[in-house]
Homo-oligomer: A and B are copies of this chain.
C-alpha cells in the first residue's frame, strides 16, 4: 500500500517536477490512464508508478513511444497467454543488452572525464608555477601547513 491511493494532476506535477501540460500529454499518448470525477483527472498509484517510469525512461534516452510499447506489452503479458510471455522474455533480453551498452558508455565517459580532469589540474599547476615565478615571495609556508 502506498501512502495515498489517488493523486491530483498538480500533486504529481509537483512531486516529479514536471508541468501539468506534460502529464496531460502523457495521457493523450496513452501512457497514463487517469479516471475522472466530473472532468478532473484522478490518478491512481499505478499511474504514479508509470509516471516515475516514464521520467526514468527519458533520463535513459527512451522515447515516449518506446516506453509506451513496454507498458502495453507488460499489460498484454499480464493477461498471460504463452506467446506474449515468451515475447516479453526476449524483449527483456534485448533491454538488458541495451543496458549493458549504456553501462559501457558510462564507464568510457568516466574514464575520459578522469583524464580530462587530470589535464585540467596539470594545467592549473603550470599556471601556479608561472605565478610564483612572476611573484617570488612567500616560498615554503603552504607546504609545511598541509598535513
The interface of chain A, by Cβ under 8 A from chain B, is: 56, 58-61, 74, 77, 80, 82, 85-86, 88-89, 92, 95-96, 99, 101-103, 105-106, 108-110, 113, 116-117, 120-121, 123-124, 127
Contacts and interface: CB of A to CB of B under 8 A. Distances in A.
Does more than half of chain A's interface fall in helix, strand or loop, or is it mixed? Answer: helix
Contacts of A117: 89, 92
A133 to B, nearest CB: 15
Contacts of A127: 80, 82, 85
A120 B88 CA distance: 8
Leading 7 A-B pairs by shortest Cβ distance: A61-B61, A56-B105, A85-B120, A85-B124, A80-B123, A92-B117, A60-B105
24 contacts: A56-B109, A58-B61, A59-B61, A59-B102, A59-B105, A60-B61, A60-B102, A60-B106, A60-B109, A77-B120, A77-B123, A82-B124, A85-B127, A86-B124, A88-B116, A88-B120, A89-B117, A92-B113, A92-B117, A95-B113, A99-B109, A102-B106, A103-B106, A106-B106
